Structure 1
């Protein structure tokens, strides 16, 4: 399991009136990280993708002071589907984990139509799958009559 990791400098304009990085800014950090991953895969492997966000969920665990120099963003794929990806991005600093952002993105072709992920693309994104996404057998309890 690999993580795509990047760092982001915090700007004063990212802060709310209480001196913490606004929650929406942390979601934008996660979105930017997904774009950076797609650009990296395009440059290194020729994977050309067009993505649209279908759903975003975020949980915020502790305030992020804007005076923190930078944050680390660690992205993993939670699920690689036929035409979508579920991405999980952690926003951390030296203070700990501040947010976890889960986003589901849909793949489009260059004309704007929904398109399946190619096997080559699937292989590249699968490198970032979380260990929790590995297939596991499920045992169902037998009912007692």
Structure 2
């Protein structure tokens, strides 16, 4: 599994009234990371795709002080569908992990119609897939068993 990692400076304007980076700014950091990732793939492989956001979920584990110089963003794919991607971006600093943002993106063609990825394109994105850590033959034990 590959990851896409980038860094972003924290600006004072990202802060809330308590001196922490606002949750919405953290979500925007993750969205910007997804865009940077797609641009990097475009430059590396010549992929020209259009993506629209279908769903965003964020979990916040600890406040991110705006006084830190920068934040580290690590993106990985959790699912590569026929016409969609589910990405997870972890936001961290030298103080630990601050948030994880999961977003589902739908693929469109240049006319704005939803379009399916080619097997080759799916393979490009699949390089970033998180390996499934659960065994496929897992059996749940009963209450008494």
**Which TM-score bucket, shorter chain as reference?**
over 0.9
Counterpart for residue 15 of structure 1: 15
Is the alpha carbon distance of 1:101 and 1:141 closer, same or farther for their aligned partners in structure 2, counting shifts above 3 Å?
Answer: closer
Is the alpha carbon distance of 1:135 and 1:48 closer, same or farther for their aligned partners in structure 2, counting shifts above 3 Å?
Answer: farther
Q: Give the ranges of 4+ consecutive aligned residues of structure 1 lying more than 6 Å apart after TM superposition.
A: none
Q: TM-score, normalised by structure 1?
A: 0.93
CA distance in 2, matches of 1:141, 1:66: 44
Counterpart for residue 124 of structure 2: 124
> How many corresponding residue pairs?
142
- SS of 2:124's partner is helix
Is the alpha carbon distance of 1:114 and 1:135 closer, same or farther for their aligned partners in structure 2, counting shifts above 3 Å?
Answer: farther
CA distance in 1, matches of 2:134, 2:84: 18
- SS of 2:87's partner is strand
The yes-or-no answer on 1:68 pairing with 2:68 is yes
RMSD: 1.6
CA distance in 1, matches of 2:111, 2:71: 36
1:105-141 alpha-carbon deviations (Å, 9 max, x no partner): 0000010000001222111110100123x78423446
Unaligned runs of 5+ in 1: none
- SS of 1:138's partner is coil
- SS of 1:104's partner is strand
1:38-64 alpha-carbon deviations (Å, 9 max, x no partner): 101111101111000000000000000
How many angstroms does 1:104 deviate by? 0.4
Is the alpha carbon distance of 1:141 and 1:22 closer, same or farther for their aligned partners in structure 2, counting shifts above 3 Å?
Answer: closer
Unaligned runs of 5+ in 2: none
Is the alpha carbon distance of 1:5 and 1:114 closer, same or farther for their aligned partners in structure 2, counting shifts above 3 Å?
Answer: same
